[in-house]
Chains A and B, each alone.
Chain A
Amino acid sequence: MTTIPLQDRVRRTARRLALTAGLIAGTIGPAAAANLTVACSALGTESDLCREAAQAWADETGNTVEIVHPPNAASEQLALYQQLLAAESPDIDVLQLDVVWPGILGDHLLDLAPHLPDGTLDGHFPATADSVRSGDAILALPWFTDAAVLYYRSDLLAEHGLDVPETWDDLEAAAAVVQAAERAAGNDRFWGFVWQGRAYEGLTCNALEWVASEGGGTFIGPDGSITLDNPAAARALDRAAGWVGTLSPPGILTYAEEDARAVFQSGDALFMRNWPYAYALGQSPDSPIAGSFDVAPLPRGAGPEARHAATLGGQHLAVSAYTRHPDLAADLARFMTSEAVQRERAIAGSFAPTRPALYEDAAVLEAAPFLAFLPATLREAVARPAAVTGTAYNEASAIVYGAVHDVLSGNADGAARLAEAHGDLMQLSRGGRW
């Protein structure tokens, strides 16, 4: 026998020992038990649900999983991933990604196609399934989908004989009436409408809805052309700027999702723009507004091209290209995005499934009745222009939310600031050629 390098010998012995241990434990697997790390967000109930699903997989396969929580704010979460992945760190195996990130992180994500059985993407919404493909490669698996919705206090609207707002004008009128009445009744911190106004990705989502619902486009067209500088967009931003300090708290300029939910769930706001995750939390037994709120599509604008528009969100699970256990990590991602887990998450956390079949499931609809209209909303949803911008998406989004935040702060009016942002985007994209 030739001499074997010490390292190999150690590795071989270790493998044998592990196999023996596996046999003794009765879990005969192809590899020794591995420890996988999953990064999933801790927004609302997400942490518990993620842990339960990952643990179920671990129990089934005899491996162990660890959960880590990246920051809540989307831009910070992405930045953390970029740092880890740029360093080719194997610390995290499975990552929770926003729908707009596969393009940005592309090279750092493992192509899941060779590691998964064929047809893994069957049963998802076709558009969602397409969004994770890049040619033949599968960069991520759809976990849940999101389309922003309007939360409203059904009790307060009924009390004042108001309808659920169809347009932004309706929303402003209803908010003014109820806010005045509530304040007169002694709740001096009651506000009409809360949303997300901090200078971050979430503001780009909010602004996309205001602008698209006025018929002002999506900032950047599907062909890459810069479309944000138009009268409808300027009108939409000026309208939103008018809310700050009147219908919405002045502090809205620092609000992200959870800040808005804190106000709405304390019963201090009539309307809230947020993602579906807030529904289950608002209906939980210890919530002061349980049973007295409902959801509707976001209002549309006033012009002839006005429409309902909801930013398409949602999260995927992807596997880091630097994982030490590609097969196991891919299998974990498959398990966590499976129909059973998505069903559980829909019932317990109101996370909208990416599988159309679950929208007909009685238990799901009973737990989160508003999911019934989501497939329709999803058809009207507006995607952020991330596919066409590729790795420049963050900079493009920063230009957009920077401009919007300026308008909201009253530093500039919509038209002038959008013209400036147009120039910035033209320069960034080399004339819309990205």
Chain B
Amino acid sequence: MDRARDAGPLARARARTAWLFLAPALLVLVLVAGWPLVSTVWLSLTDSRLDAGHQARFVGTDNYLRYGPAPDAWDEEAGGYFVYDDATGAALLYRPDTDAFYDWDTGAALAGPVDRAAVFAWHGLLADPVWWRSVANTVFYTVVSVSLELALGLAIALILHAHLPGRGLLRAAVLIPWAIPTVVSAQLWGWMLNDQVGVVNAVLLDLGLIAERIAWTAEPATALAAIIAVDVWKTTPFMALLLLAALQTLPNEIYEAARLDGVHPVRLFARVTLPLILPALMVAVIFRTLDALRVFDLFYLLTSNADDMLAMSVYARRQMIEFQDVGAGSAAATAVFAIAAAATALLVLIGRIEPEGRR
């Protein structure tokens, strides 16, 4: 729009018209994306809860990180925090106004000193090992599954781009996994991976690849592998179709010229095809990365939901819905957003750096 300002009245009028046409879309975007985002960030700064009758207070960044007594141990009546001394098993009251400890039952001041390091701790999302474990799970899942999908998707796209007989049918068939809702495919794979009646175990046993049935979804390592496999099965078609679309826009003349010059196909792919489809490829990778970082259904349906097998979104849901702690859940949701935004920014940056240093 900067250019419009320097230009004549006609260009300015066109810019105004453009904004006018954009306005409804922007308004909808603000309403359906902006507002929920802002309200989630706001909720993450409060101690809001799901159950009725609780007045939410502004608590700053307590839901993210805070040192001291547990924030939810605040007792209005006693005017302090309940702290439990793990070492001695004593129940204590900590009053921030006097910065001293009292006996919880009698309210009497304590004679001896209290080991603060033992009763105070880091609280909040960033101090929760379960959160970091779920971040690690999600990031690992994202990196591995998106890489595999990219490699397989590219291969499939190149095959489909070639002039094969029955190409239309093949293209439609490839799309089937993508057309099945994730919840359905997760449930479907859940049965296929079942340790007792699952077809995966039966096939592997018959082929002699495993000695006994494996409970795929019970162990963190095999569960992650299973989830990645299901995701690759499901979303490779998406990747393949986006890349195929990009391939089909490439002008034929380049390839004819290359053929006349006798360029080796591998060299042709690396020096011509790949750079030309790179923008589309980066868009596909960004889409998939965003989707993968927000993964919920696969982890939720395929694992035992134990602490070491959560994804970030599953963690957020657990805090918000199961524990009714909307503040903590919103903090986790905000963190998921921040991580996804950072990943996108990183990918956009990588996409801009090109070998020839153009642009």
A residues with a Cβ closer than 8 A to B are 75, 78-79, 82-83, 86, 104, 107-108, 188-189, 197-200, 249-254, 259, 262-263, 266, 268, 391, 394-395, 398, 402, 405-406, 409, 411, 423, 426-427, 430-433
Contacts and interface: CB of A to CB of B under 8 A. Distances in A.
A-B pairs with the 3 shortest C-beta distances? A251-B195, A251-B215, A431-B91
A402 B306 contact: yes
A250 B304 CA distance: 12
Given A189-B213, A251-B218, A427-B70, A394 B324 contact: yes
Interface in B230-287: none
Contacts of A432: 91
A82 B215 CA distance: 33
B195 A249 contact: yes
A309 to B, nearest CB: 24
B278 to A, nearest CB: 42
Contacts of A263: 196
A430 B82 contact: yes
Nearest to A75: B322
B81 to A, nearest CB: 9
Interface stretch (B30-38, B50-58, B152-160, B336-344): B50-58
Given A107-B51, A253-B306, A431-B104, A394 B84 contact: no
A430 B73 contact: yes
A136 B51 CA distance: 22
Contacts of A198: 304-305
A249 B323 contact: no
Interface of B: 50-53, 70, 73, 75, 82, 84, 86, 91, 104, 194-197, 212-219, 303-308, 321-324
Contact of A108 (B52, B194, B216, B217): B52
B239 to A, nearest CB: 30
A81 to B, nearest CB: 10
A405 B306 CA distance: 7
Given A402-B307, A430-B75, A251 B217 contact: yes
Contacts of B305: 198-200
Contact of A254 (B73, B104, B303): B303
A395 B70 CA distance: 15
A87 to B, nearest CB: 10
B357 to A, nearest CB: 51
10 contacts: A86-B50, A86-B52, A199-B306, A249-B195, A262-B196, A395-B323, A405-B304, A411-B308, A427-B84, A430-B91
Contacts of A197: 304
The CB with the most chain A CB atoms within 10 A, among B82, B216, B304, is that of: B304
Contacts of A251: 194-196, 215-218
Contacts of B84: 423, 426-427, 431
Contacts of B75: 430
Contacts of B50: 82-83, 86
Nearest to B323: A395
Nearest to A402: B307
B324 A254 contact: no
A249 B53 contact: no
A107 B49 CA distance: 14
A104 B321 CA distance: 13
A79 B82 CA distance: 28
Contacts of A405: 304, 306-307
A254 B303 CA distance: 7
Given A391-B324, A427-B70, A430-B91, 15 more contacts: A79-B322, A83-B50, A83-B321, A108-B52, A189-B213, A198-B305, A199-B306, A199-B307, A249-B195, A250-B214, A252-B215, A254-B215, A268-B196, A395-B323, A430-B73
A411 B218 CA distance: 13
A394 B196 contact: no
B230 to A, nearest CB: 15
Contacts of B214: 250
A107 B53 contact: yes
Given A107-B53, A427-B70, A430-B82, A249 B215 contact: yes
A406 B306 contact: yes
B197 A262 contact: yes
A430 B308 CA distance: 26
A250 B215 contact: yes
Contacts of B212: 188
Contacts of B197: 262, 266
Contacts of B53: 107
Contacts of B73: 427, 430
A398 B323 contact: yes
B186 to A, nearest CB: 13
B51 A254 contact: no
Given A198-B304, A406-B306, A430-B82, A250 B52 contact: no
Nearest to A203: B304
Nearest to B300: A76
Nearest to B202: A189
Given A251-B215, A427-B84, A431-B104, A86 B51 contact: yes
A400 to B, nearest CB: 13
Nearest to A409: B306
Contacts of B82: 427, 430-431, 433
Contact of A253 (B51, B70, B215): B215
Contacts of A83: 50, 321
A251 B216 CA distance: 8
A41 B51 CA distance: 23
A311 B194 CA distance: 27
Nearest to B212: A188
Contact of B195 (A86, A250, A427): A250
A81 B233 CA distance: 34
A62 to B, nearest CB: 34
Contacts of A423: 84, 86
A49 B92 CA distance: 52
A325 to B, nearest CB: 21
Given A107-B53, A254-B304, A426 B91 contact: yes
A249 B219 CA distance: 12
Nearest to B50: A86
Contacts of A406: 306-307
